[in-house]
Copies of this chain bind each other. A is one copy, B any other.
Amino acid sequence: MLVVQKYGGTSVKNIERIKKVAEKTIQYKNQGNEMVIVVSAMAGETDRLLSLAHEIARFPDEREADVLISTGEQVTAALLALTLKEMGHDAVSLMADQVKISTDSSFGKARIADIEKDRVISQLKKGKIVIIPGFQGVDEEGNITTLGRGGSDTTAVALAASLNADLCEIYTDVDGVYTTDPNICSKARRLDRISYDEMLEMASLGAKVLQIRCVELAKKYNVPILVKSSYEEGKGTLVCREDRTMMEKVVISGVTYNKNEAKITVSKVPDRPGMAAMIFTALSDVNIPVDIIVQNVSRGSYTDITFTVAKADAKKAYKIMADIVKEIGAESVTMDEDIAKVSIVGVGMRSHSGIASKMFSVLANEGINIEAITTSEIKISCVIEAKYGELAVNVLHRAFGLDKQDVEEESEN
């Protein structure tokens, strides 16, 4: 098998941990696998380098910032190669320009355009373990670029796709993807597998195991990703194509939860074309990302538009809306920071009816009022009062059969 493994910053935070990574790699190699290892910068290193840059400038030049921070992954790659060689295994580090990993020229957030696989393949054929710094690339002119935070996952998946790897393993702090946040729900259970689409909804909703971008790429090239803990042995979670034989059984894969948003409602917006465009253009002009948007059918010649933004952007968004209200002749704008968003995610809901109504009933039974609802093909989100957030997660988790079987404690937090 050709296996691409990616180790995050905490997995390589010191020489001791790097040795553990080397041992695991050797174990796979000894089983006859060809190994390509993608590494992040040692934990804290990227921040150290960025803080140097910020001593110089509030907004450091992006090209040069990439030259600076790409050294973090380069250091780890060299240290892991040194460790493997010291342990008697042939290894070679290849930088992005040596591989090469071509990107566009969007410094700090470059996107991978192409990966040349020949040099990696020829090193693998020589029996070497190939180590590649994650997060970096090189543009058409040979400038160093970086892929943005979480870019190392993307490097690993892109390499796996390019090399037609049999498996891409991502080692991280957690031992897999959970049905919900174990800090909130003691019954949270590790999923053995999850589909790309479900993972995308989980990731964007706050289960920060894998970057959205990396899952999108894996889905596009059908790269199976096994998310595992670098600290303990375990089966991890396989993120892969939907398994149609499974689909009938599991309806809901997870419950997610977000308390970091605020809800803004613009009331009595004139029901004319272009009103929503004006509202959301005003927000995107100042780079405020909007999460959910709800617009109901109009009452007479008016409609209400509700949306959520990150709490950090809420006051700014509110002020902008206050101006917009006058401009478009709406009645008023209100803001509510005291909300939580609870979502259920599952490809199974495509073929099962009654999932939404079940969710609403479960919440209603606990006396939780729903302030806004949005749905996608495989997700239903409800905005509720903040204080009910944890309760909602727990009751939904149980109602949709996600509680783990071997219950260790009865309490639900």
Residues of A participating in the B interface, judged by any CB pair closer than 8 Å: 15, 18-19, 49, 52-53, 55-57, 60-61, 63-65, 67-68, 71, 74-75, 77-79, 81-83, 85-86, 91-93, 95, 97-98, 142-144
B15 touches A52 (CB 8 A): yes
Question: Given A15-B52, A15-B56, are A95 and B67 neighbors across the interface (CB < 8 Å)?
Answer: yes
B97 touches A56 (CB 8 A): no
- Chain B residue, CB-CB nearest to A22: B56
A68 touches B63 (CB 8 A): no
Main SS class of interface, A: helix
| Of B64, B82, B95, the contact of A60 (CB 8 Å cutoff) | B82
How close is A410's CB to chain B, nearest CB, in angstroms? 48
Question: Given A67-B95, A93-B67, are A61 and B81 neighbors across the interface (CB < 8 Å)?
Answer: yes
How close is A81's CB to chain B, nearest CB, in angstroms? 4
How close is A358's CB to chain B, nearest CB, in angstroms? 55
A61 touches B85 (CB 8 A): yes
B79 touches A53 (CB 8 A): yes
A64 touches B49 (CB 8 A): no
| Of B55, B74, B77, B93, the contact of A15 (CB 8 Å cutoff) | B55
Question: Given A65-B78, A67-B74, A75-B68, are A56 and B93 neighbors across the interface (CB < 8 Å)?
Answer: no
What's the Cα separation between A142 and B119 when bound, in Å?
Answer: 11
How close is A94's CB to chain B, nearest CB, in angstroms? 9
Question: Given A92-B63, A144-B95, are A53 and B82 neighbors across the interface (CB < 8 Å)?
Answer: yes
A65 touches B82 (CB 8 A): yes
B82 touches A64 (CB 8 A): yes
Q: Chain B residues near A92 (CB, 8 Å)? A: 63-64
A142 touches B98 (CB 8 A): yes
| Of B68, B71, B82, the contact of A56 (CB 8 Å cutoff) | B82
What's the Cα separation between A52 and B77 when bound, in Å?
Answer: 13
Q: Chain B residues near A60 (CB, 8 Å)? A: 82, 86
What's the Cα separation between A57 and B89 when bound, in Å?
Answer: 13
Q: Chain B residues near A49 (CB, 8 Å)? A: 75
What's the Cα separation between A60 and B93 when bound, in Å?
Answer: 14
- Chain B residue, CB-CB nearest to A58: B86
**A-B contact sample (8 more), CB < 8 A, given A52-B79, A57-B82, A98-B143:** A49-B75, A53-B82, A61-B86, A63-B92, A64-B91, A68-B82, A71-B74, A97-B97
Q: Chain B residues near A91 (CB, 8 Å)? A: 64
Q: Chain B residues near A77 (CB, 8 Å)? A: 67
29 A-B residue pairings within 8 Å (CB atoms): A15-B52, A15-B56, A18-B56, A19-B56, A49-B75, A52-B75, A53-B78, A53-B79, A56-B83, A56-B86, A57-B82, A57-B83, A57-B85, A60-B86, A61-B82, A61-B85, A64-B78, A64-B81, A65-B78, A65-B82, A67-B74, A67-B81, A68-B74, A68-B78, A68-B82, A71-B71, A71-B78, A74-B74, A97-B97
